[in-house]
């Protein structure tokens, strides 16, 4: 009764089928996804609007290094791995992205600075179309700058991971989450 009032749990019967656990596991594996796509947004010091975030075209050396931590840079044309909705035939979503294959999982990152920039489009709809439809976005900051999830209007983005470069590390590059 603790599970649900509509379910009767007075009697249980053993499953007398030796392959049952293997079948349940196989079914569970079909439900689990091995492909993921995450947005990556570069937020420069003082940027506080969606237009500013998606309007950034250059990458700082620290952001470029962070992308190398996330995965490997891949050429999208004829890419054979999980593409995360990016165009691998005609180059309409840029020429390069960041991809990671980790423990039988494939991750394609939708990097704001690598998606096409459209001159004269303040909203940068090409960039927002991909990142705005992701569930999770990583926001990288070179310096401490305020980030509020409401900066980006999206019905899909539910989680933001704000990563900041930590200054003064003697053991190499450090990040603060």
Domains and CATH numbers, the chain: 34-176 (3.40.50.11210)
Name the residue among 97, 126, 122 with its Cα closest to residue 38: 97
What per-residue confidence (pLDDT) applies to 2? 54
CA distance 73 to 97: 6
Name the residue among 64, 65, 45, 41 with its Cα closest to residue 53: 41
pLDDT < 70 positions in the chain: 1-9, 28-31, 168-170
Name the residue among 147, 151, 143 with its Cα closest to residue 49: 151
Name the residue among 75, 43, 51 with its Cα closest to residue 128: 51
How far does Cα 30 stand from its chain's mean position? Answer: 22
| Beta-strand pair 105-111/96-102 | antiparallel
CA distance 92 to 38: 19
What per-residue confidence (pLDDT) applies to 40? 99
pTM, entire model: 0.81
% of residues, the chain, pLDDT over 90: 75
The answer to whether the CB of 52 falls within 8 A of the CB of 148 is no
Q: What is the pLDDT of residues 82-116, one digit of tens each?
A: 999 999 999 999 999 999 999 999 999 999 999 99
């Amino acid at each position: 009764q603790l599970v649900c009032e509509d379910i009767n749990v007075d009697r249980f019967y053993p499953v007398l089928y030796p392959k049952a656990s293997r079948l349940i596991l196989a079914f569970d594996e079909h439900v689990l996804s091995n492909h993921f796509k995450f947005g990556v947004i570069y937020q420069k010091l003082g940027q506080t609007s969606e237009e500013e975030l998606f309007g950034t075209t250059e990458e700082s050396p620290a952001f470029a290094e962070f992308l190398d931590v996330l995965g490997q840079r891949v050429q999208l044309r004829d890419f054979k791995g999980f593409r995360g909705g990016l165009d691998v035939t005609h180059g309409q979503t840029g020429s390069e992205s960041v991809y990671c294959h980790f423990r039988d999982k494939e991750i394609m990152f939708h990097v704001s600075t690598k998606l096409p920039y459209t001159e004269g489009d303040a909203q940068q709809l090409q960039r927002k179309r991909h990142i705005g439809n992701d569930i999770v976005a990583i926001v990288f900051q070179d310096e401490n700058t305020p980030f509020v999830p409401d900066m980006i209007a999206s019905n899909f983005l539910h989680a933001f991971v704000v990563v900041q470069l930590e200054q003064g590390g003697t053991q190499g590059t450090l990040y603060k989450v």
